[in-house]
Structure 1
């Protein structure tokens, strides 16, 4: 796409524009026959406008859609056995937009299935601004840090939409620091001074469930990565881990 360039080796890209062309440029790489695209959408976002990019282009061999806050679809998903990966399109739905453990697990499953099948994986997360309406910046930052590492581990190329007009410059600058590249408006502000008290116990539990075995490793890897013994982290351990990541 003319005027839009994604750097070689940029696995995770922050997009601060709202045009379809930018989203398409981030998705439209490589051979469509070997490409798998996953879009994560929230109630106020529209996959028709940005999540799947420009529909006039060559469509990928595999598509995935995770709908957040979609009560009707999530009820259907809960009654079944999870996404059906046998067809060209697979869907999952999560009713609770604060359940980052469930979201991380779903994204990881899509990517692992497609990686095992040899597809080139592209992810559109639409959007971080929507996620920040439900969860504190500290917890979202930690979630993104873990998630981007997971996506990189399967050689995925992912882009995350963020509306810089909806957040303080310090918040935007902090999220910029996670990503390999920023496409669109950038801010030169200092990163935010993290106050851990702003992240409640419920926020931390939604992401890491006190860093229990299931939560921690469902996002960052498969069961074969798990240690033989996992002990529950104390509040001090959680704060130290966040301090190291932020």
Structure 2
């Protein structure tokens, strides 16, 4: 994956460095004609602080942008009926940065559209530090736990930016435990004892929306322990599931 040393089995990566090359290396993989990239960004954060990658590189066939905390774009998106996936670039905006139900649903929709059409999905979440400005670590931890499982179900390659200088070592260590790999600074501090319940097989299957049977089953176990009634979930179902958990 570019010059960044990412394990082949790492689907979800935590990036604790702020260099553009790291972000570019996490995104710039495979055939650009089959690559779809989604960036989740907070306008209040400076683009130079991390994320977005190098804009001079080969651009993907599909590009998505979810802007969180952007009131102006959110009003425009609402009046337009949501993202327009017919073109090369699709945008969505969420006015309330604490509305993780809405954020999870938006990311799910991008993943569904692109997976259904056979694109290789890459996600840049910039940044968890910004999200933690609005929501408690416990709630963000729950959200990331469900979201990373969701991304795994479509074989997405995702990286999440976190600035370790803005958080206690225990908080950073707790978030490290969610991800397959950490690129950049790591902490050996003990994890915070967060109060959350592990997502059940049924919850994860519901979050898988209408992925293929193989993709859904890949995150709920082998044939002998698959749930009897794995069914498709609508965007409303996903939003309600996140509402129940958060």
Give TM-score scaled by structure 1 length: 0.80
Matches within 5 A, 1:42-53: 42-47=42-47, 50-53=50-53
CA distance in 1, matches of 2:103, 2:206: 9
**What RMSD in Å do the two structures reach over aligned CA positions?**
2.6
1:221 aligns with 2:223: no
- 1:35 — aligned with what? 35
Number of matched residues? Answer: 214
- 2:213 — aligned with what? none
Q: How has the CA–CA distance of structure 1 residues 37 and 48 changed in structure 2, closer, same or farther, with 3 Å as cutoff?
A: farther
CA distance in 2, matches of 1:195, 1:90: 36
CA distance in 2, matches of 1:48, 1:112: 30
Q: How has the CA–CA distance of structure 1 residues 189 and 217 changed in structure 2, closer, same or farther, with 3 Å as cutoff?
A: closer
What is the SS of the residue equivalent to 1:75?
helix
What is the SS of the residue equivalent to 2:85?
coil
CA distance in 1, matches of 2:129, 2:49: 16
Return the offset for 1:126: 0.2
- 2:240 — aligned with what? none
Q: How has the CA–CA distance of structure 1 residues 33 and 125 changed in structure 2, closer, same or farther, with 3 Å as cutoff?
A: same
Return the offset for 1:23: 0.3
Contact 1:132 1:140 in 2 (8 A): yes
- 1:97 — aligned with what? 97
- Detail structure 1 runs of 4+ shifted over 6 Å in the superposition: 216-219
- 1:147 — aligned with what? 147
Q: How has the CA–CA distance of structure 1 residues 2 and 106 changed in structure 2, closer, same or farther, with 3 Å as cutoff?
A: closer
Q: Deviations over 1:185-234 (max 9, x none)?
A: 000000013368xxxxxxxxxxxxxxxxxxx78982327435xxx9xxxx
Return the offset for 1:30: 0.3
- 1:189 — aligned with what? 189
Q: How has the CA–CA distance of structure 1 residues 47 and 65 changed in structure 2, closer, same or farther, with 3 Å as cutoff?
A: farther
Contact 1:104 1:218 in 2 (8 A): no
- 1:59 — aligned with what? 59
Q: Deviations over 1:151-206 (max 9, x none)?
A: 0000000000000000000100000000000000000000013368xxxxxxxxxx
Return the offset for 1:133: 0.4
Structure 2 gaps, min length 5: 197-202, 211-230, 238-243
Contact 2:7 2:181 in 1 (8 A): yes
Contact 1:16 1:182 in 2 (8 A): yes
Q: How has the CA–CA distance of structure 1 residues 180 and 195 changed in structure 2, closer, same or farther, with 3 Å as cutoff?
A: closer
